[in-house]
């Protein structure tokens, strides 16, 4: 990561000057004038009260999420009221619509998980921490390697049964369509396993949550429900023991298109024709 960390660190002094005027008035995401329009605010349960994306800009012309702008920064409000910000150098953007929160290393403090994209090398998954009282890059997957290549994070949960959260993501959901499972280990993101033939996004859509978690095979470990490559079958993928395997499948009448949800053991899936598909999972 030396190639990415160096410009980011050099940029921090300038970044502090850019975000300071907003901090004087932005104590919450709701009243932050720099918040990315149409992005979600993530509420935390630990030391971070909320996290959100800031500083919309049009320096990256990918538009994979349907808009001409992406975020240039990240902001969190801590439980004690402190507001911390991280601003990217001009050669990067956060190509995302939410900043996810999870305690990835089991230290009782949340990390922030977000898609960080290089204008020249494409997307990566980045993990930020607040261990030093500042919002800092903590770990990162490799950039894909060329511009206009994206990855879509899915759920964060203990998918292997080892007692700590893992991160599921889909590398290039429009091209490669590979589901991968990553975990934070000894300060680095490590890929555990992968499964081909998965797509969780349609180009131009701002909806990125085409997934759900459920213990489909009743082994006591959560499984991931995601569409297959043409989004006409819902795959139930187990990662128990660190190995990816399909443990079930449900066909849908037309391709899935929209954020999945589960309530009372009923899976709800929006479809491309505007209909909604529902099925019981028990």
Give the pTM: 0.89
Shared domain check, 220 and 255: yes
- Written as six digits, the tokens of 50 are 């909320």
What is the distance between the alpha carbons of residues 227 and 200, in angstroms, rounded to a whole number?
Answer: 6
Shared domain check, 212 and 163: yes
Per-residue pLDDT at 168 exceeds 90 = yes
Q: Which pLDDT value is given to residue 27?
A: 78
Per-residue pLDDT at 16 exceeds 60 = no
**Positions of E strands within 148-260:** 151-157, 166-171, 178-185, 188-196, 212-214, 223-227, 233-238, 245-251
Percent of the chain with pLDDT over 90: 88
Shared domain check, 75 and 171: no
Shared domain check, 171 and 108: no
Q: Which of 145, 164, 193 is the last residue of a domain?
A: 145
Per-residue pLDDT at 126 exceeds 80 = yes
Shared domain check, 91 and 184: no
Number of domains composing the chain: 2
Shared domain check, 138 and 167: no
Shared domain check, 281 and 170: yes
**Strand 100-102 and strand 92-94: pairing?**
unpaired
Q: Which of 126, 145, 164 is the last residue of a domain?
A: 145
Per-residue pLDDT at 23 exceeds 60 = no
Shared domain check, 230 and 141: no
Contact between 138 and 111 (Cβ < 8 Å): yes
Q: Kindly report the CATH number assigned to the domain that includes residue 193.
A: 2.130.10.10
Show the domain range for 26: 1-145
Q: Which pLDDT value is given to residue 1?
A: 41
Per-residue pLDDT at 3 exceeds 50 = no
Contact between 118 and 126 (Cβ < 8 Å): no
Q: Which pLDDT value is given to residue 26?
A: 54
pLDDT band at 17 (very low <50, low <70, confident <90, very high): very low
Average pLDDT over every residue of 48-65: 97
Integer angstrom CA distances of residue 168 from 53, 140, 243, 274 = 21, 14, 13, 27
Shared domain check, 208 and 109: no
Contact between 99 and 52 (Cβ < 8 Å): yes
User: In terms of pLDDT, which residue wins out, 132 or 207?
Assistant: 207
Shared domain check, 191 and 163: yes
Shared domain check, 111 and 41: yes
Shared domain check, 79 and 52: yes
Q: Which of 95, 125, 145 is the last residue of a domain?
A: 145
């Amino acid at each position: 990561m030396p190639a990415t960390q160096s410009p980011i660190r050099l940029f921090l002094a300038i970044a502090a000057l850019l975000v300071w005027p907003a901090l004087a008035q932005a104590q919450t995401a709701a009243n932050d004038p720099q918040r990315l329009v149409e992005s979600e605010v993530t509420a935390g349960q630990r030391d971070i009260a909320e996290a959100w994306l800031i500083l919309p800009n049009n320096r990256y012309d990918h538009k994979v999420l349907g808009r001409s702008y992406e975020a240039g920064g990240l902001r969190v409000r801590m439980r004690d009221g402190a507001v911390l910000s991280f601003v990217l150098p001009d050669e990067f953007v956060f190509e995302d619509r939410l900043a996810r929160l999870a305690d990835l290393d089991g230290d009782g403090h949340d990390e922030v998980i977000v898609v960080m994209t290089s204008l020249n090398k494409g997307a990566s998954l980045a993990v930020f921490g607040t261990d030093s009282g500042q919002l800092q890059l903590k770990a990162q997957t490799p950039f894909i390697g060329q511009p206009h290549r994206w990855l879509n994070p899915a759920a964060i949960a203990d998918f292997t049964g080892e007692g700590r959260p893992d991160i599921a993501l889909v590398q290039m959901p429009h091209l490669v369509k590979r589901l991968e499972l990553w975990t934070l280990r000894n300060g680095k993101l490590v890929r555990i396993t992968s499964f081909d033939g998965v797509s969780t996004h349609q180009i131009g859509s701002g909806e990125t949550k085409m997934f759900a978690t459920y213990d489909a095979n009743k082994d006591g470990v959560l499984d991931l429900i995601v569409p297959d490559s043409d989004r006409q079958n819902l795959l139930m993928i187990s990662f128990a023991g660190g190995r990816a395997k399909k443990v079930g499948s449900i066909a849908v009448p037309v391709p899935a298109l929209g954020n999945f949800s589960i309530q009372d053991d009923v899976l709800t899936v929006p479809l491309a024709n505007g209909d909604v598909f529902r099925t019981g999972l028990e």
